[in-house]
Amino acid sequence: MSAAGDNSPTRAQVAPLGAGRYRFMVCVVLVALAVLVGRIVDLHVIDRLFLQGQGDARTLRVETIDAHRGMVTSRHGEPLAISTPVVSLWANPQELPVDDIQRMMLARALGMDLAELNARIERYAEHEFMYLRRRMTPLDAQPILDMRLPGVYAQHEYKRYYPSGEVTAQLVGVTNIDDKGQEGVELAYNGFLAGQPGKRRVLKDRKGRLVRDLHLIKEAKPGGNLALSIDLRLQYMAYRELKAAVDENNADGGTLVMMDVKTGEVLAMANLPSYNPNNRAELDANGLRNQAITDAFEPGSVMKPLAMSAALETPKFSPETVIDTSPGWMRVDNFTIRDFRNYGELSMAGILLHSSNIGMSRVVLQLEEDAVWNRYHALGLGQTPGTGFPGETTGSLPTPYDWSDSKRASMSYGYGVAVSALQLASAYTAIANEGKRMPPSLLKLSSPPEGQQVMAPQVADDLLHMLEAIVQPSAGGSRAVVPGYRVAGKTGTVRKVTQAGYQQTAYRSLFAGIAPVSDPRIVTVVMVDNAKNGDYYGGLVAAPVFGRVVGKALRLLDVLPDKKEAVE
């Protein structure tokens, strides 16, 4: 029993207050639970797509899978251009260590000094990507990756390598640092060689490191392999002999083209100056051009057999027709045309043998005005060769409109018209192939093309034997003689042309020939540019290159000797 005056509350008096607190707390919990459920619904239902997209944007990446670039090979499958795997190191400047010791280790591994590395990092400080070093071999890149420095990553790529180096540089061409064709066949067939890159979806962490490879979006399609028409044995030999001649004669450069008479395939194509496509540190821009296809020049006397073919097609002329070239000079339209000396009366074969400008002029001036133009055009001059090579020249063949007699005469002996070495070689296939000209091909052919009949077979045969008389021990083409084989050809010497006109002391030396005569297999054109060691005539400078190259080529191609004294 409580004492009188005791005012302390009883259990019954405080119970209602305790019950209210309980109900209040229950309500608070229910409200919080409702908010939490609402938030969960909001995140997983209402904002699900938005939030998932934000998350994917931070972790999911679509990466490109590089396609392996196809090989370029010779006709026998030897590699001329191949792609090898390399590693490019890149970095996120914002993640790189700031410690000088770690940066010094990275700089040394990259082959640079610390100041250079710091300057590069500072330049890209606001970016999340910069290359440290591109196209390293996996062996060189691995020690840097093993350092496990934050912010340093690897990117796997391919680098183009050219096993034959400068020997095929202008023909094969090069790719840039991104493995895209920039010159030559690499550029002409870039789409075919490059293939199609693939794509894959990957999961990465916030530092860009690969967590998981999720799935393949598109499979990479490797590029196709391209077989060129050249025979690498002949190519090496042609380049070596041409280089020796350029060095021996202190020339500015040279070009050699060898074609298969029956198919039009280019078996060798050499140019000087050249360059090493595997080391472009000291690249000479002049060496980039494939002069055999892209450069046109006045060919001089090597055009005389082609012009004469037009005359032999008419009833006015035959191989026995005699032309009086006395007195060794003539005036045409106030221009004087001269021979080396007065040759007197010459047969058509004699005109070619002595390379008589007077004889050719008098023959051509008896033909229709457009006769020579029509023949040159049918032989492919003044038109693109159709190889698809970047920058191939059409040469120059002026239209026969209101031509003067002097213009017609000069074109008959190779002035006033410009051709490339490839065009000239293709034109000579008509003489070697019974009057049928073969279009040139830089690719290996599965079957020979049809060709174009541009002169009568008898005319081609007559010309072939006329040209054989030039390549004899006592004739102007004596240095082109090939032991054991019958050879036909024509020399040419022409003044170089600049913006100031014809040069008095600069010449191009040429020889165009066919072998063997009994069953022609190859046509070869040699041009040596501006020989400066005294001799500059085609018979003295270019013909010896032809003789050495063709002699070795015939043996490499297993062509049987056809000289009687060689087989008896």
Q: How many CA atoms lie within 13 A of 540 on its CB side?
A: 13
* Packing angle, helices 457-470 and 304-312, rounded to 10: 140
CB 442 within 8 A of CB 229: yes
Instruction: Give CA–CA dist 247/224, Å, rounded.
Output: 39
Strand spans (E) along 118-221: 130-136, 152-161, 198-204, 210-218
Q: Which of 449, 441, 434, 426 lies closest to 512 in space, CA to CA? A: 426
**Phi, psi torsion values for 177, nearest 5 degrees:** -65, -20
What is the rounded CA–CA span in Å between residue 374 and residue 383?
A: 13
DSSP state at residue 79: E
Element (H, E) at 178: none
Q: Calculate Rg over the CA atoms of the chain.
A: 39
Which amino acids are annotated catalytic? 301
Looking from the CA of 252 toward its CB, the CA atoms found within 13 Å total: 11
Rounded Cα gap, residues 295 and 422, in angstroms: 10
Contact between 313 and 456 under an 8 Å Cβ cutoff? The reply is: yes
Token look-up 């390598």 returns 161
